[in-house]
Amino acid sequence: MNTQTQLDKLAAANIDPEIKSGRDHQALPGPVAYGRDLWERSVLFMDTLRERADNIVAHDRAGMPPLLDFRYETLLDARQFAKPVNYALLRITEVDGHCWDDCIDAAKPPVMIVDPRAGHGPGIGGFKRDSEVGMAMVEGHPVYFVIFYPEPVKGQTLDDVLSALRRFVEEVSRRHDGAAPVLYGNCQAGWAVTLLAAHCEGLAGPVVLNGSPLSYWAGEEGVNPMRVTGGLLGGSWLAHLTADLGDGRFDGAWLAQNFENLKPEKAIWEKYANLLMNIDTERERFLEFERWWNGFYTLSREEILEITQDLFIGNLLENGEMRIGDHCVADLRKIRNPIVVFASYGDNITPPAQALGWIPAVYKDTADLKSAGQRIIYMTNAHVGHLGIFVSASVARLEHRAILESLERIGKLEPGLYEMKVANPSGGDPDCHASNYTVRFEPRDVADLRHDVPIEAFEQVARLSEANEAFYSAFVSPWVRVMASPASAEMLKWMHPMRTSRLVFSESFNPWMRLVRQTAETIARTREPLARGDPLLAHERAMIAAVGDAIERARIARDARLEGTFRTLFGDGGGAHGDDTDGENNARLPV
């Protein structure tokens, strides 16, 4: 990617805002005016990082409550169950100042939204008005939200969590005369509600999976290197070690760090460059999102091992080998409720192949899907990133609203595979409804979703992981557990670079930041941004673009080395899913 392309990307991200100024520093020579503007922006930038750090400290001291922008009441606290887990069921009671009775249409099914427990806290599905919670309430659906607390109950397992989620579904259904709730699963929560639907046939209504991986070995070489990292690290033993060092808890900051490392040019460079360039307009939006992004929650040792070993490395869910309890195996074919899958080609964490690749693995062809009596609907976005699937206001106002308003039509579709197409002439009008846009359900063939998967290579990884995990569990883990303590775990927690890099700007940790705050307050009273057309600002943008371009090239080279090493160690594997030998498996997912 050349520098001009990077400049275009930054411009599209509002890196060059419309900043109007009274005098535009006309009284000062160009370099002096630019130097003053850069100094002011730098101080305000540092002050924003100070406020972010202080928000992190305040959120932690408050017990890290869910970041929901809606009033709610707690209905069930699973910490009080016979098999306790750190989950709770909330009922959203008010939106935009309107209470439950003013918002709810009793004829519409309840919606139960489950947020991802993948390092961060709950709230991403409802931390602003234009969100999944907001759209569901505006459309008249009773809305329930599943949260989790920062610390897991000691020893809690995925089975325990699924048991609690089942209780939640039963409670929602009881409150609505037996009506099955629509299950909304974001990212990690997608496979959780899928397991729930497979285990609780008849309890759940339609299942909506947003950016949710169910096919963990799928992906595209050169685009999705995350799938090979488990093999390169030797399997799940490293997650086990990290949880042992955490005194039985796995720090979610490690997962957040992995997400940022996937595309450092965006998460570590462009995000902060955008803030510096647009400090007069971007401060509040930056702080709003960072309140959620930097709230790191923990998982139990048992949970992280089941997630890494059984799902991401073992791929047991897609293969129909994922056990639930002592007597049940999750079978995706048992799900009879309609499944809606929302994926994006801009999502490098859960690419469409991982969100949709399970379909041809479970159903050999379209006729098999129809004979099973199932309806699967998928919708793709061409460019939005992983988090944008949950947090983008435009996505909430269009795609999520369209899903909710189309539930009745989806329930009447004949069994089969469909692609949901939304045409929106209004351009994302926040008040657009079904009368303003059109939705089509176009029949598709299961063969359209087939993709190459190096099965033999990933099976070798699974075997290696099992061997390493057995060795670590038998000979290393007992010694690590003896040495670990609550004190050492807390020390490692606060020394994590995802925390120290933020908290170093807090007044609580760095007294010098008080001077930054006071200086920023003075600057804010007299701030006059430099004119947007200033040539030195153009040079600054070019430099920012060049650095971002260099980081991106380095990341692409890094990913290529990782995948090359994976091929060297494990080979290209065998065939893809299915028995096709005529090249059908090379079909790309339809856009």
Given a cut of 90, whether residue 379 has pLDDT beyond it is yes
Instruction: Compare 370 and 139 and report the one with higher pLDDT.
Output: 370
Rg of the chain over Cα atoms, rounded to whole angstroms, equals 25
SS3 call for 438: strand
Q: Are residues 79 and 56 in the same domain?
A: no
Closest C-alpha to 391, from 136, 14, 125: 125
Residue 591 lies in a domain: no
500 is a domain residue: yes
Q: How confident is the model at residue 5 (pLDDT cuts 50, 70, 90)?
A: low
- Closest among 111, 176, 171 to 139, alpha carbons compared: 111
pLDDT band at 8 (very low <50, low <70, confident <90, very high): low
197 and 275, same domain (yes or no) = no
Write out the two tokens for 532.
């947007």
* Mean per-residue pLDDT of the chain: 87
Which tens digit of pLDDT belongs to each residue from 512-567?
A: 999 999 999 999 999 999 888 889 999 999 999 999 999 999 999 999 999 999 99
pLDDT of residue 426: 60
* Same domain as 147, residue 79: yes
* The pLDDT of residue 385: 87
If asked whether residues 285 and 390 sit together in one domain, one would say no
Helix (H, G, I), strand (E, B) or coil at 204: coil
User: Helical H runs in 306-406?
Assistant: 352-356, 358-362, 366-371, 388-391, 393-395, 401-405
Long-range contacts of 21-28, Cβ-Cβ distance < 8 Å, separation of 24 or more: 21/528, 21/529, 21/530, 21/531, 22/528, 23/528, 24/528, 24/530, 24/531, 25/528, 25/530, 25/531
Residue 140 has pLDDT above 60, yes or no: yes
Answer whether residue 10 shows pLDDT above 80: no
pLDDT of residue 186: 92
Could you tell me the pLDDT band of residue 197, with boundaries at 50, 70 and 90?
Answer: confident
pLDDT exceeds cutoff 90 at 110? yes
- 433, containing H or E segment: none
Is residue 310 predicted with pLDDT exceeding 60?
yes
Q: Taking Cα atoms as reference points, which of 40, 286, 298 lies closest to residue 150?
A: 298
Residues 354 and 449 both lie in one domain: yes
532 and 405: one domain? no
> Region 324-348: what's the mean pLDDT?
87
Torsion sign across C-alpha atoms 93, 96, 99, 104: negative
Which residues are CB-neighbours of 248 under 8 A, at least 6 positions away?
154, 155, 300, 301, 481
Share of the chain above pLDDT 90, in %: 65
In a domain, 223, yes or no: no
Cα dist from 177 to 173, 174, 409, 449, whole Å: 6, 6, 22, 38
From 420, 453, 486, the end of a domain falls on: 453
Parallel, antiparallel, or unpaired for β 143-148 and 111-114? Answer: parallel
The average pLDDT across 259-272 equals 93
Please report the pLDDT score of residue 429 as a whole number: 53
Q: Is residue 224 part of a domain?
A: no
Q: How confident is the model at residue 583 (pLDDT cuts 50, 70, 90)?
A: very low
Asked if 155 and 106 sit in the same domain, the reply is yes
In whole angstroms, how far apart are CA 366 and each of 44, 215, 230? 57, 18, 32
pLDDT at res. 390 = 84
Structural domain harbouring 87: 71-217+315-453
- Which range of 7-16, 397-406, 432-441, 470-479 scores highest in mean pLDDT? It is 470-479
CATH classification of the domain holding 191 = 3.40.50.1820
State residue 2's pLDDT score.
Answer: 52
For the segment 68-92, the average pLDDT, to the nearest whole number, is 95
Identify the band that residue 584 occupies on the pLDDT scale cut at 50, 70 and 90.
very low
For residues 569 and 430, the model is more confident at: 569
Residues 320 and 446 in one domain: yes
**CA–CA separation, 323 and 331 (whole Å):** 9
Residue 177 falls inside a structural domain: yes
The CB density around residue 519, as the number of other CB atoms within 10 Å, is: 16
Which of 51-55, 389-393, 504-508, 515-519 is least confident? 389-393
Any bridge partners for residue 77, and if so which? 88
User: Which of these ranges, 307-311, 323-327, 375-379, 432-436, has the smallest mean pLDDT?
Assistant: 432-436
Q: Is residue 559 part of a domain?
A: yes
pLDDT at residue 15 greater than cutoff 50: no
Q: Answer whether residue 40 shows pLDDT above 90.
A: yes
Range 487-497 average pLDDT: 96
Q: Does residue 83 share a domain with residue 56?
A: no
Residue 233 lies in a domain: no
Per the structure, how many domains does the chain have?
A: 2
Q: Do 335 and 422 belong to one domain? A: yes
Verify that 548 and 435 share a domain, yes or no: no
- Say yes or no: 107 and 190 in one domain: yes
Could you tell me if residue 298 is inside a domain? no
